């Protein structure tokens, strides 16, 4: 594909149009896939004159001339673009296109021509280049590993294991280390205290390709942003800090979900500290991306739930954190002199308390909706506004308020019911005081891998968060089946978890979006089909000997009834639980209503679930393969 005029676009190539011009609208009208652009990730050229944005919904790369959006060219892509990175000389751009078998495209930045296509793993994202431009690292989200692509040999040369859903990555300024953010904790969810559930960061030595993990503080989840400070001394992360040990009686003061920034000391590979991005009286829901300015002056965080940009005075933050003890436990601020034996925190050293950043952080309100990816060039910060098909351009300024412009990539989209539901689901402003959104516990409409003590079935019996895929087809809802339908659960979620009252039309829109969710093909499938082992497992699953299908009948793999399968735990008030749907169960560890098992193998063998412990080792492995393929 070559850069060309409007006629070329109509033949399936590129588009040149004036900002907000009607050309895009007519194209959008013809292809439903392009109804929304969905700008997600963004990069800016070294001279600051060209901006590149992944258009997730339009399946295209936008090339935008700055500072004015006079012309936008787009390059059509084979699948949803999830991330991009620009070579230092500005001549090549690498874009990850997500699929079960993803492709990483090398694109000529000036001509918009696709030069090469490197195959990668399942749902590739977050490409990161070595400073010398010789290697490209790509996170394979659902393979839980990282592809190392040698750009001279023109092929993938290694895979390095991460922990769970690697989703963001940054290479150290000296190129020696690759730091990878894992989205979710990989631990059992029914543990408490300092060693309970937390996401980890994977550190890869780029010479030996040896990997190590740095565990974040308890309750850290939904880690979406990672960046180095320009001196290479610190890695900063944007994520949620879930206080999942607390009963969900209130939402204020980051009581349920706090929104956090973690600073890691790179040399020591240790968390320096985790601070809350929330204010005293208003949360800053759903931090997404994080970036540092090249002069080390500012750290910026996009807040997808509150349509804001946090601009933090980096030297002031680092100086304060170096003085304070690590608060390794997300509830320390509340357990003053708590029984777990962690040092009581008072006054200004309550690092994990809302309002900690007062005086060293500005909150810049953006005019678009759903800020996600960030790019920084000089004192200019760009944030993609996912739902309004626009880019926020913020000029940072030490003395005065930051100045803000919004660059439209097309006409302001008209949201249909499903899209409106998606917007509301991700909107922290629904919540009393903006502390969290539905997506805070249900990232991408799935689950945060944590247990929460919702009060719908009594207090003191936490349940593992459920994925919302096909919830509307598998009533009743909740592990205990206390909600008759998913519709009822949606409305009680708004009322009792976001602690607000909203019009019925908003709940209906959220239903519509949740109903539109489609399963992602399992990474255990081989070219979309069951492996031979999984095929043997399928027969066992449906056999009388195993009897799994009695309670988990296809196609939803649930009989929608509650059963006592001997899984009652110490904290439970009941013995019978709703039979879970098994589609996408490969993605929703930990398992059972209290998240006690991290693998299907453990559930079936140790948990003796469905009598599967009586199978031979080989049969058990086959059954596990089948369940993981659903
Ligand atoms: C604080 C975390 C949290 C937040 C925020 C949250 N949920 Fe949930 N959600 C859960 C947990 C935990 C469960 C499972 C509870 C159980 O099994 O008893 C759940 C279950 C559900 C279910 C039932 C799923 C099924 O198949 O049975 C629906 C539907 C749901 N949530 C929708 C929502 C919506 C809509 C919002 C926003 C209005 C929301 N949730 C916000 C934690 C949360
Ligand atoms: C008598 C009904 C019944 C039978 C038979 C049965 N299950 Fe289940 N299954 C359940 C129930 C109920 C749960 C939820 C229990 C809980 O949450 O404590 C469950 C949970 C599971 C889970 C965990 C899902 C999750 O998201 O946490 C998997 C996987 C599973 N079953 C697979 C199987 C397999 C494989 C077999 C056959 C060896 C089987 N089941 C047999 C009723 C049954």
Ligand 2, atom nearest to 593 Cα:
17
CA distances from 230 to 87, 115, 174, 227 (A): 17, 31, 10, 9
| Ligand 2 midpoint to CA 621 (Å) | 16
* Structure token digits, residue 303: 């807040």
Give the residue, out of 429, 438, 498, with the most ligand 1 atoms within 8 A of its beta carbon, to mutate for a pocket test: 438
Q: Looking at the predicted structure, is the pLDDT value of residue 106 above 60?
A: yes
Provide φ and ψ at 24, rounded to 5°: -65, -45
In sequence order, the 6+-apart residues with CB closer than 8 A to the CB of 546 are 540, 610, 611, 612, 615, 623
Confirm or reject: Cβ of 465 under 6 Å from ligand 2.
no
Nearest to 199 by CA among 226, 174, 173, 229: 226
Ligand 2, atom nearest to 568 Cα:
18
Q: Which ligand is nearest to the CA of 590?
A: 2
What is the mean predicted confidence (pLDDT) over 477-483?
91
| Ligand 1 midpoint to CA 466 (Å) | 6
Ligand 2, atom nearest to 576 Cα:
12
Confirm or reject: Cβ of 567 under 6 Å from ligand 2.
yes
Q: Which ligand is nearest to the CA of 574?
A: 2
| Ligand 1 midpoint to CA 267 (Å) | 39
Tens digit of each residue's pLDDT (9 = 90 or more) over 403-432: 888 999 999 999 999 999 999 999 999 999
Query: Per mean pLDDT, which range of 69-73, 90-94, 294-298, 371-375 is the poorest?
Result: 69-73
- CATH assignment, 532-629: 1.10.760.10
Q: Looking at the predicted structure, is the pLDDT value of residue 612 above 50?
A: yes
> Locate tokens 């973690």: which residue?
262
Q: Provide the pLDDT for residue 397.
A: 82
CB atoms within 10 A of CB 387: 24
What is the mean predicted confidence (pLDDT) over 597-621?
91
What is the mean predicted confidence (pLDDT) over 521-545?
95
Q: Which ligand is nearest to the CA of 581?
A: 2
381 three-state secondary structure: strand
Strands (E), 396-454: 403-408, 451-452
Q: Provide the pLDDT for residue 243.
A: 87
| Ligand 2 midpoint to CA 472 (Å) | 19
Confirm or reject: Cβ of 547 under 6 Å from ligand 2.
yes
* Structure token digits, residue 282: 């208003």
Identify which has the larger pLDDT, 572 or 234. Answer: 234
Q: Provide the pLDDT for residue 354.
A: 77
Q: Provide the pLDDT for residue 16.
A: 38
Instruction: Locate the domains of the chain by residue range.
Output: 427-516, 532-629
Q: Provide the pLDDT for residue 329.
A: 60
Distance from C-alpha of 619 to C-alpha of 624, rounded to nearest angstrom: 9
**Would you say 295 and 282 are in contact if contact means Cβ atoms under 8 Å apart?**
no
Q: Residue 193: which pLDDT band, with cuts at 50, 70 and 90?
A: low
Tens digit of each residue's pLDDT (9 = 90 or more) over 465-476: 999 999 999 999
Q: Which ligand is nearest to the CA of 470?
A: 1
CA distances from 608 to 30, 54, 567, 592, 601 (A): 54, 46, 10, 13, 10
Identify which has the larger pLDDT, 512 or 328. Answer: 512
Q: Residue 141: which pLDDT band, with cuts at 50, 70 and 90?
A: very high
| Ligand 1 midpoint to CA 295 (Å) | 42
Q: Provide the pLDDT for residue 332.
A: 44
Mean pLDDT, the chain, rounded, equals 89
Residues of the chain with pLDDT > 70: what percent?
89
Tens digit of each residue's pLDDT (9 = 90 or more) over 323-359: 887 776 655 444 433 434 333 344 344 567 778 898 8
Most confident of 221-225, 450-454, 456-460: 221-225
Q: Residue 194: which pLDDT band, with cuts at 50, 70 and 90?
A: low
Distance from C-alpha of 17 to C-alpha of 10, rounded to nearest angstrom: 12
Q: Looking at the predicted structure, is the pLDDT value of residue 150 above 90?
A: yes
What is the mean predicted confidence (pLDDT) over 196-214?
95
Confirm or reject: Cβ of 479 under 6 Å from ligand 2.
yes
Q: Residue 23: which pLDDT band, with cuts at 50, 70 and 90?
A: very low
What is the mean predicted confidence (pLDDT) over 42-62?
95
CB atoms within 10 A of CB 320: 18
Q: Residue 281: which pLDDT band, with cuts at 50, 70 and 90?
A: confident
Q: Residue 110: which pLDDT band, with cuts at 50, 70 and 90?
A: very high
**Would you say 357 and 317 are in contact if contact means Cβ atoms under 8 Å apart?**
yes
Distant-in-sequence contacts of 70-75, Cβ < 8 A, 24+ apart: 70/18, 70/19, 71/16, 71/17, 71/18, 72/15, 72/16, 72/17, 72/19, 72/409, 72/410, 73/3, 73/14, 73/15, 73/16, 73/112, 74/9, 74/14, 74/15, 75/1, 75/14, 75/107, 75/112, 75/114
Ligand 1, atom nearest to 476 Cα:
27
Tens digit of each residue's pLDDT (9 = 90 or more) over 112-123: 999 999 999 999
What is the mean predicted confidence (pLDDT) over 185-209?
88
| Ligand 2 midpoint to CA 548 (Å) | 7
* Structure token digits, residue 388: 């309004």
User: Cis omega (within 30 of 0) on the bond before 139?
Assistant: no
What is the mean predicted confidence (pLDDT) over 481-487?
93
Ligand 1 atom 1, closest CA: 441
Confirm or reject: Cβ of 481 under 6 Å from ligand 2.
no
Which alpha helices (DSSP H) does 104-244 contain, by range? none
Task: Look up the pTM and report it.
Answer: 0.91
Identify which has the larger pLDDT, 279 or 456. Answer: 279
Any residues with Cβ below 6 Å from ligand 1, and which?
248, 256, 436, 438, 440-442, 452, 454, 457, 463, 465-466, 468, 471, 474, 477-480, 486, 489-490, 493-494, 497-498, 510
Ligand 1, atom nearest to 479 Cα:
17
Tens digit of each residue's pLDDT (9 = 90 or more) over 359-399: 899 999 999 999 999 999 999 999 999 999 999 999 998 66
Q: What is the largest CA-CA distance in the chain?
A: 74
Confirm or reject: Cβ of 304 under 6 Å from ligand 2.
no
Helix (H) or strand (E) holding 309: strand 308-313
Ligand 1 atom 28, closest CA: 489
432 three-state secondary structure: helix
Q: Which ligand is nearest to the CA of 480?
A: 1
Confirm or reject: Cβ of 585 under 6 Å from ligand 2.
yes
Q: Cα dihedral sign for 229, 232, 234, 240? A: positive
In sequence order, the 6+-apart residues with CB closer than 8 A to the CB of 43 are 51, 52, 53, 84, 85, 86, 93, 375
User: Cis omega (within 30 of 0) on the bond before 90?
Assistant: no
Q: Cα dihedral sign for 486, 487, 490, 491? A: negative
What's the 3-state SS for 254-286?
A: CCCEEEEEEEEECCCCEEEEEEECCCCCCCCCC
């Amino acid at each position: 594909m070559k850069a060309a005029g409007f006629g070329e676009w109509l033949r399936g190539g590129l588009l040149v149009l004036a900002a907000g011009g009607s050309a895009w609208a007519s194209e959008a009208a013809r292809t439903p896939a392009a109804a929304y652009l969905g700008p997600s990730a963004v990069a800016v050229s070294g001279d600051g004159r060209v901006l590149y944005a992944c258009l997730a919904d339009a399946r295209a790369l936008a090339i935008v001339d700055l500072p004015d959006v006079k012309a936008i060219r787009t390059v059509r892509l084979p699948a949803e673009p999830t991330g991009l990175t620009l070579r230092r000389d500005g001549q090549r751009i690498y874009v990850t296109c997500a699929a079960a078998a993803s492709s990483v495209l090398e694109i000529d930045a000036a001509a918009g021509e696709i030069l090469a296509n490197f195959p990668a793993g399942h749902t590739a994202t977050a490409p990161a280049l070595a400073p010398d431009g010789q290697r490209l690292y790509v996170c394979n989200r659902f393979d839980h590993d990282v592809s190392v692509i040698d750009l001279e040999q023109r092929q993938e040369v290694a895979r390095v294991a991460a922990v769970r859903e690697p989703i963001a990555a940054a290479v150290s300024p000296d190129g020696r280390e690759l730091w990878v953010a894992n989205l979710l904790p990989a631990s059992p969810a029914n543990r408490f205290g300092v060693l309970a559930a937390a996401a980890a960061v994977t550190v890869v030595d780029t010479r030996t390709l040896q990997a190590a993990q740095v565990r974040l503080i308890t309750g850290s989840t939904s880690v979406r942003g990672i960046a180095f400070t320009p001196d290479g001394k610190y890695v900063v992360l944007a994520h949620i800090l879930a206080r999942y040990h607390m009963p969900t009686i209130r939402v204020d003061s980051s009581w349920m979900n706090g929104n956090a920034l973690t600073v890691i000391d790179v040399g020591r590979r240790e968390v320096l500290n985790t601070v809350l991005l929330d204010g005293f009286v208003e949360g800053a829901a759903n931090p997404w991306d994080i970036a540092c300015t090249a002069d080390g002056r500012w750290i910026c965080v996009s807040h997808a739930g509150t349509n804001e940009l946090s601009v933090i005075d980096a030297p002031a933050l680092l100086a304060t954190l170096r003085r304070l003890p690590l608060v390794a436990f997300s509830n320390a601020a509340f357990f003053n002199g708590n029984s777990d034996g962690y040092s009581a925190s008072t006054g200004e050293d309550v690092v994990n308390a809302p309002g900690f950043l007062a005086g060293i952080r500005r909150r810049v309100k953006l005019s678009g909706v759903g800020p996600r990816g960030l790019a920084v060039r000089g004192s200019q910060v760009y944030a993609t506004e996912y739902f309004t098909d626009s880019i926020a351009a913020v000029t940072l300024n030490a003395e005065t308020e930051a100045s803000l412009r919004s660059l439209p990539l097309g006409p302001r989209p008209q949201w249909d019911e499903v899209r409106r539901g998606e917007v509301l689901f991700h909107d922290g402003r629904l919540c009393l005081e903006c502390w969290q959104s539905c997506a805070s516990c249900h990232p991408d409409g799935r689950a945060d891998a944590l247990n929460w003590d919702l009060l719908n079935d009594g207090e003191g019996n936490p349940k593992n968060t459920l994925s919302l895929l096909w919830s509307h087809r598998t009533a009743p809802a909740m592990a205990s089946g206390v909600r008759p339908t998913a519709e009822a659960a949606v409305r009680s979620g708004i009322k009792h978890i976001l602690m607000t009252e909203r019009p019925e039309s908003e709940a209906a829109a959220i239903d519509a979006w949740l109903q539109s969710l489609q399963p992602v093909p399992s990474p255990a499938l081989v070219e979309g089909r069951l492996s031979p082992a999984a095929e043997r497992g399928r027969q066992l699953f449906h056999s009388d000997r195993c009897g799994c299908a009695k309670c988990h009948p296809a196609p939803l793999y649930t009989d929608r009834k509650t059963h006592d399968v001997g899984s009652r735990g110490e904290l439970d008030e009941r013995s019978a639980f709703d039979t879970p749907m098994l589609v996408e169960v490969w993605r929703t560890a930990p398992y059972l209503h209290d998240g006690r098992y991290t693998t299907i193998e453990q559930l079936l063998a140790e948990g003796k679930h469905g009598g599967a412990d009586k199978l031979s080792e080989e049969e058990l492995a086959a059954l596990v393969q089948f369940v993981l393929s659903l």
